[in-house]
Structure 1
Amino acid sequence: MRIAVTGSTGKLGTVVARELRSAGHEVIGLDVEGARGPGFVKLDLTDYGQVIDALGGVGDQHEGVDALVHLAAVPAPGIRTDVATFHNNITATFNVFWAAARLGIDRIVYASSETVLGLPFDTPPPYIPVDEAYPARPESTYSLVKHLEEQMAIELVRWNPQLAITALRFSNVMNPDDYAEFPDFDADATLRKWNLWGYIDARDGAQAIERALAVAGPGFQRYIIAAADTVMSRPNAELVAEVFPEVELRGELGVHDTLLSIEKARRELGYAPRHSWRDGPDPASR
């Protein structure tokens, strides 16, 4: 497919563009920053005219795309003011969704967020492992936007029955260079309790996107996307007993299994995370 990837110069977007190209797809990167060249278009996603123009075709770059991967955003709370984060992220997402629907691009995969699960869990989760079954619990302006984006997607697929929108609730994105810091987390269980000690290797994030592009049918679906394990060497039972002693446990925790359940993504998308910080350095695949 020819796939437009917004946020193609970001931490996850760079890896996603690389992996999609390696899988044989043509990628058109769209971002506010980046070097001019083949396969990249610089634009402001908060300007609808630029968005629909870029998706519809740009000079000799392309004459339209088959699918859209939307990753561009202010990527976390606290980077910009709450108002700036809200205005940027909701406007950019509306623009790319609306432009895609108008142009007949009927396959969209985009970055939602683990934050809609109730992060930083100052109010404990309703149960552990957490999954997609309970209502969103946004606790920041950033997370509120992610929740509203999911609600917007639900209505857009109702209006456009041929449209497939898949929301991937990515955990904290990591690259191999980040893994050297992980052993330090063991000293204090509360350092990473804010997302139940979760993470996602960017390469597995790319895999989840490729699987969603391949198999998602019309309609809206949401999936938690995390690594198969936690960031901790300490066992799950010890961590949960110390930090969330009153929270209901649903099923086996495993020793180091992710507490951000990826069972729905495994079952419906065929998602199978291949990378773990426990495997040690892997320079060739960075």
Structure 2
Amino acid sequence: MGRPGGEAMVHTECEEARMIIGVTGSGGKLGRAAVARLREAGHEVIGFDLVGPPGGGFTRVELTDYGQILDALLGVTARHEGLDALVHLAAIPVNGLIPDAATFINNMTVSFNVLFGAHRAGIRTIVMASSITAMGFPFEKAPPALPVDETYTAAFNTYGLGKVAEEAIAAQLAGWSDDLSITALRFTNVVDETEYDTFDRADDPGYRRDLIGTWIDARDGAEAVALALEVARPGFEVYNVVAPTSGSSIPSRELAERWFPGTPVADDLGEFESLVSARKIEEHLGFTARHDWR
């Protein structure tokens, strides 16, 4: 545990202890869902972001400032005296909002500050947001096989390049302490319950082409975060977080042939199974998506 005087601890699937959990990016779409899910489970959650709801569950932190994030992780008067776990979701979310180099520099700076600060603060359970952009997005170049699993890493924009680098940093930091657990969740496009009307284009073969048909409901993304915390084990692990069925009404094998002719496709690919594999997170963490646009 990161709290002063506590023993370092990694939570297992058999443990349901109440934790004090920090969440960076708590004001974002996924962040809001994660905070709600963790509080429903009985955890105390402290949001760290530039904006958030007033009250005891939020502290404004400039995450590009290492001093601020380290101070916030160690303790904040009237908020907490140390954290048991940390969920790192903060980032400039896509390319195009600011110049490309600035996207990379901002996100790399924030993630280094958060991960290294957590290491210095003695926090031993960390779940961080990675991205489908670390595995080939926008998939103009065919992946080696379909569905794409966690063994494939490739970046084709500065946002994705940052995620690849952040995963590499996390993997190295996880080796600095025998009891440190860092889990990287490669999220695809996060959709909330107000955005399901976008699936009215699901019969268009060009719909979600750059995402190779993938999506995830924010509430299911939050469930993946909660499971990753509950089943955390020492070391570094990567999981895709996608809905197990695609966002297209066209059969997945037909889309694979249209988009990536000649690319090997798994013999057991389901009719509408996601072309980014959800099998590892289902098998290792017991993840089951509860929401389907259909």
Shorter-chain TM band = over 0.9
Does residue 236 of the first structure (1) align with residue 217 of the second (2)? Answer: no
Q: Does 1:161 align with 2:189?
A: no
> Which residue of the other structure, out of 247, 253, 256, is the alignment partner of 2:272?
256
Match of 1:149 in 2: 166
Residues 36 and 42 of structure 1 are in contact (CA less than 8 Å); yes or no, is this contact kept in structure 2?
Answer: no
Aligned length: 276
Which range is displaced more, 142-151 or 250-259? 250-259
5+ residue gaps in structure 1? 279-286
Q: Distance in 2 between matches of 1:125 and 1:99?
A: 35
Which residue in the other structure is 1:89 paired with? 107
TM-score normalised by L of structure 1: 0.94
Quote the offset at 1:193 in angstroms.
1.6
Q: Corresponding residue for 1:6?
A: 24
Give 2:58's match in structure 1, choosing from 40, 63, 66.
Answer: 40
CA contact (8 A) 2:174 2:235 kept: yes
1:32 and 1:251 map into 2 onto residues whose CA distance is: 47
Change (3 A) 1:220 1:68: same
- Structure with the bigger RCO (C-alpha within 8 Å, sep 6+) is 2
Q: Which moved more, 1:259-268 or 1:178-187?
A: 178-187
- Cα distance, 1:166 vs. partner? 0.2
Q: What are the equivalent positions in structure 2 for 1:1-286 lying under 5 Å apart?
A: 1-134=19-152, 136-187=153-204, 189-278=205-294
Q: Distance in 2 between matches of 1:232 and 1:274?
A: 17
Q: By how many angstroms is 1:183 displaced?
A: 2.0
Letter in 1 for 2:198: E
3-state DSSP class of the match of 1:220?
strand
Please identify, of 89-98 and 33-42, the stretch whose mean Cα deviation from structure 2 is larger: 33-42
Q: What SS does structure 2 have at the residue aligned with 1:166?
A: strand
1:186: how far off? 1.8
Residue 248 of structure 1 aligns to a residue whose secondary structure is coil
- Given that 1:183 and 1:232 are in contact with CA atoms closer than 8 Å, whether structure 2 keeps it comes out as no
> Is the 8 Å Cα contact of residues 228 and 276 (structure 1) preserved in structure 2?
no
* Aligned residue in 1 for 2:4: none
Deviations 1:147-173 (A, max 9, x none): 000100111011222210000000100
Q: Percent identity over the alignment?
A: 49
Contact 1:216–1:269, Cα closer than 8 Å, also in 2: no
Post-superposition offset of 1:34? 2.2
Q: Secondary structure at the match of 1:17?
A: helix
For 2:131 and 2:47, the matched residues in 1 are separated by: 21
- Contact 2:85–2:125, Cα closer than 8 Å, also in 1: yes
* Deviations 1:198-229 (CA, angstroms, capped at 9, x unpaired): 00111111111111101121100000010121
Contact 2:201–2:207 (8 Å) recurs in 1? no
Q: Is the contact between residue 207 and residue 248 of structure 2 (CA under 8 Å) also seen in structure 1?
A: no
Q: Which moved more, 1:124-133 or 1:67-76?
A: 124-133
Deviates more, 1:242-251 or 1:113-122: 242-251
Compute the displacement of 1:237 (Å).
2.1
Q: Deviations over 1:68-89 (max 9, x none)?
A: 0000000111121112111110
Higher helix share: 1
Please tell me whether the aligned partners of residues 4 and 27 of structure 1 are also in contact (alpha carbons under 8 angstroms): yes
Secondary structure in 2 aligned to 1:249? coil
RMSD (CA atoms) = 1.1
How far apart in 1 are the matches of 2:62 and 2:291? 33
Answer yes or no: is the 8 Å Cα contact 1:68–1:108 preserved in 2: yes
TM-score for both structures, normalised by structure 2: 0.91
Which residue is equivalent to 2:14? none
**Mapped contact 2:56–2:78 kept (Cα < 8 A):** no
